[in-house]
Amino acid sequence: MSATNQTNNQSEPVEIGGQYWSAQLETFDALESGTYDVVIFRAGYGGGKTLLGSDFVIGEAMQIPGGHSLVLAPDKTKGGPATYKGFFERLPGEKTVPNDADGDPENSPIVAGYHGTKHRVTLINGHIIQLGGADIWSRFAGTEFNVIWCDEVAHYGTTDLYDLHEMLVTRQRTEQGPNVTLWTSTGNGFNQFYDITERQIQPDGKGGEEPLPWAERMKVIVGDTRDNPFHNELDKMRAQFEGTEREKQALEGGFSAPKGLVYSSFTRRDHVVDEANVSELIPNDATPIYGYDAGWDHPRVLVQWYPTHYDQWIATDCYYALEKPFEHLCNPTDHSGWVFEQDVPRSAIYCEHEPEHILKFRQAGFRAFKAEKSLDEGIPFVRGLLELKGDPERPGLLVSDRCVELIQEFQSYKQEDVGTSGDVPDNVLDASRYALFTHTPRRTADPDDSGVSYL
């Protein structure tokens, strides 16, 4: 998308854009077609995702005086050295990256002003480009945008991509257009980005495995980095990733499990069960156990686990809600909330240490206990359950495919996130660990060998 624009300060035209390879050109065609609400460019490392997004936003903004566009990075901290820097580098002119030596976006002939605190660029035609973070995307819900670019969407952490898309679509109804959202990303793990762009299915609770209703309004372009003639270190990339487990993500624009996963042995093939086949695995007289993780800014979770005929545990159902009061899950006063609506069996529940919540679970008929929350012992215990053992070999842990959030967390929870308190995909994993580890007695040096089970 190479464009020439005349500025107010110069008689000479300013060149915006540059040369593009085939996958980028296909993406530009889709963005300009007027057919799609969201266009997704998924490519390997060095596929030119940030370059494409930056040029698209700048090129469109220069054609829409007084308009408003949005650039979303995973968050402002991660956006600084990656998305935002790439955007500033694509502005015409020299030394346009703030915080570099003498760098300032206002050095660009098309920029009238830059507000560093508010992360806002104003072009000479009055078009405002807002730089934001997907971690607090709700702050943009009151503004209309001509163009929206979401960069590295697969790295958006706990941001619900379905909710994000719903909000963004409603924010794009400007008279000038083009009213389209661009997503750029590598395929980082098997998360919601995978479910939307590859499987094209609805989220759990809104259809689960049902087809995505807005799939026809979405275009996915996949680019293999090896086809990019402008990549200056392609030999190094080939040597590093070809023939490895990361080839799909790093080169092909496909999906691989993230590097450094806590539960790297978890796979859909070995551990995920079609919901239609779950009932035949569970004895008729089996009693479930539950794990509970309290939350407000982070999701509140209740996950249900049943024993199987084969001495396994299987996750069969999950409550997962953000910014909902406890009573939305369980209100013993008037017998309302999810546990009453689902009529879940009352049995042992291992809880986050919230005394009021434990009391209310007990009032609702559960045997509620404080969970053993040890990461050092609990994580290895869950890893052990994932192992394939016996003859025939079977894992000790299974998950129904209706428990979408739990599957996604197994496939995205990294070692570097263990014990941290930020936007980490571990809420259902925490609740599951509480249930499975606390329920099962540990072998210790204690003479009574009672472990931590309350049963």
Model confidence at 448, pLDDT cuts 50, 70, 90, reads very low
Name which of 375, 359, 387 is nearest 415 in CA terms: 375
DSSP 342-410: TTPPP-EEEE-S-HHHHHHHHHTT-EEEE----HHHHHHHHHHHHSEETTTTEESEEEETT-HHHHHHH
Q: What is the pLDDT of residue 208?
A: 59
Q: What is the pLDDT of residue 425?
A: 79
Q: Is the pLDDT of residue 11 over 70?
A: no
Model confidence at 441, pLDDT cuts 50, 70, 90, reads low
* Cβ within 8 Å of residue 449, ≥6 positions away: 441, 443
Q: What is the mean pLDDT of residues 46-64?
A: 96
pTM (predicted TM-score): 0.69
CB 69 within 8 A of CB 147: yes
Which CATH architecture group holds 3-256? 3-Layer(aba) Sandwich (3.40)
pLDDT in tens, 257-312: 777 889 989 988 899 999 999 999 999 999 999 999 997 667 899 999 999 999 99
pLDDT in tens, 111-146: 999 998 899 999 999 999 999 998 888 788 888 999
CB 326 within 8 A of CB 300: yes
Q: What is the mean pLDDT of residues 396-404?
A: 94
Q: What is the pLDDT of residue 230?
A: 93
Q: What is the pLDDT of residue 352?
A: 93
Q: What are phi and psi of 85, to 5 degrees?
A: -60, -45
Name which of 264, 277, 298, 289 is nearest 405 in CA terms: 298
Q: What is the pLDDT of residue 334?
A: 97
Q: Is the pLDDT of residue 78 over 80?
A: no
Q: What are 366-372's contacts with CB under 8 Å, separation 24+?
A: 366/290, 367/454, 368/292, 369/438, 369/454, 371/291, 371/292, 371/434, 371/435, 371/437, 371/438, 372/434, 372/437, 372/438, 372/452
> Scanning the structure block, which residue is given the tokens 């994000």?
164
What is the CATH code for 268-439? 3.30.420.280
Model confidence at 84, pLDDT cuts 50, 70, 90, reads very high
Which of 7-11, 83-87, 167-171, 337-341 is least confident? 7-11
* Cβ within 8 Å of residue 151, ≥6 positions away: 49, 50, 53, 71, 72, 73, 74, 79, 82, 83, 184, 185
pLDDT in tens, 325-383: 999 999 999 999 999 999 999 999 999 999 999 999 999 999 999 999 999 999 999 99
Helix (H) / strand (E) element for 161: namely helix 161-170
What's the burial of 101, exposed, middle or buried (CB within 10 Å: 0-12/13-18/19+)?
exposed
Distance CA 204, CA 316 (A): 13
- Vertex 369, ends 364 and 374: CA angle to 5°? 140
pLDDT in tens, 172-230: 999 999 999 999 999 987 788 988 999 999 886 565 578 999 999 999 999 999 999 99
Q: What is the pLDDT of residue 445?
A: 46
Model confidence at 422, pLDDT cuts 50, 70, 90, reads low
Distance CA 237, CA 232 (A): 10
Domain boundaries, the chain: 3-256, 268-439
Q: What is the pLDDT of residue 206?
A: 61
pLDDT in tens, 241-263: 999 878 989 999 998 777 788 99
Average pLDDT value over all residues in the chain: 89
